[in-house]
């Protein structure tokens, strides 16, 4: 018997064993569909195609698994490249960003992450805070930075770029996001989204375009 076994060592520590990915996939679906409390470990195990026991090999408990899902979600958000190249003109950039952002939020099951995290923010404040910082605040900051660059270049005239960034993002959601997360309306059509983002961009630039 020679060096056999080396490749089996510490497999659990690896962030990406296939079982782990498998579990995360199943858990993601179940958590997003049913919420933290509504999701049961049994359901997750079934959705992941593993045994309940295996869940606990990879994750300490239900909360740890949930937080891993959010981690994933955060990574996914991070990978959605918002093109904030300072060289691009503001109108196009904002429009493109608005599109991408709104699609992210309103994709089927897209409100779910926000909804799900919000739901437990009161009981698990750290989780809420962490998610906000890693996902929403980060996006605000990137946009804010982009805006600052254009302020510097004299293109835009903005006092509080963080506020402005947040304002633009809120404008993009106007009339669309809340009905969607409250299940009071189906996901918005492409056309409607375009109209809303158009309006947002116009209003935003109307206010902040340097004269």
Considering the rule CB under 7 A, would residue 54 count as an interface residue with DNA?
Answer: yes
Among 25, 41, 100, 151, binds DNA (CB under 7 A): 41
- Stretch of residues binding its own copies (CB under 8 A), selected from 71-79, 92-100, 128-136, 149-157: 128-136
Least distance CB 174 / DNA (angstroms): 36
Considering the rule CB under 8 A, would residue 189 count as an interface residue with its own copies?
Answer: no
CB contact at 8 A, 79 and 174 = no
Considering the rule CB under 8 A, would residue 128 count as an interface residue with its own copies?
Answer: yes
Tokens standing for 11? 């497999």
Residue 156 pairs in a beta bridge with: 209
Among 119, 149, 151, 194, binds its own copies (CB under 8 A): 119
CA 208 to chain centre: 27
Considering the rule CB under 8 A, would residue 194 count as an interface residue with its own copies?
Answer: no
Considering the rule CB under 7 A, would residue 42 count as an interface residue with DNA?
Answer: yes
Tokens 């993601």 belong to residue: 28
Euclidean distance between CA atoms 124 and 147, whole angstroms: 33
Tokens standing for 120? 């437990």
Residue 153 gets which letter from DSSP? T
Residues found near DNA in the complex (CB under 7 A): 8, 10-12, 17, 19, 39-43, 50-58, 61-63
């Amino acid at each position: 018997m020679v060096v056999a076994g080396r490749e089996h060592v510490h497999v659990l520590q690896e962030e990406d064993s296939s079982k782990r990915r498998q579990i995360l996939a199943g858990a993601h679906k179940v958590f997003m569909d049913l919420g933290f409390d509504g999701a049961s470990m049994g359901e997750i195990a079934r959705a992941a195609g593993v045994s309940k026991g295996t869940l606990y090999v990879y994750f300490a408990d239900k909360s740890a698994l949930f937080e891993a899902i959010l981690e994933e979600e955060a990574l996914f958000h991070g990978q959605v490249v918002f093109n904030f190249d300072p060289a691009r003109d503001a109108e196009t950039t904002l429009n493109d960003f608005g599109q991408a952002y709104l699609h992210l939020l309103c994709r089927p099951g897209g409100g779910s992450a926000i909804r799900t995290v919000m739901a437990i923010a009161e009981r698990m404040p750290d989780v809420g805070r962490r998610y906000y910082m890693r996902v929403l605040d980060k996006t605000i900051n990137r946009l804010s930075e982009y805006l600052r660059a254009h302020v510097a270049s004299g293109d835009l005239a903005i006092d509080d770029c963080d506020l402005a960034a947040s304002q633009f993002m809120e404008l993009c959601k106007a009339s669309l996001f809340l009905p969607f997360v409250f299940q009071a309306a189906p996901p918005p059509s492409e056309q409607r989204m375009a109209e809303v983002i158009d309006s947002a961009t116009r209003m935003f630039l109307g206010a902040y375009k340097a004269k």
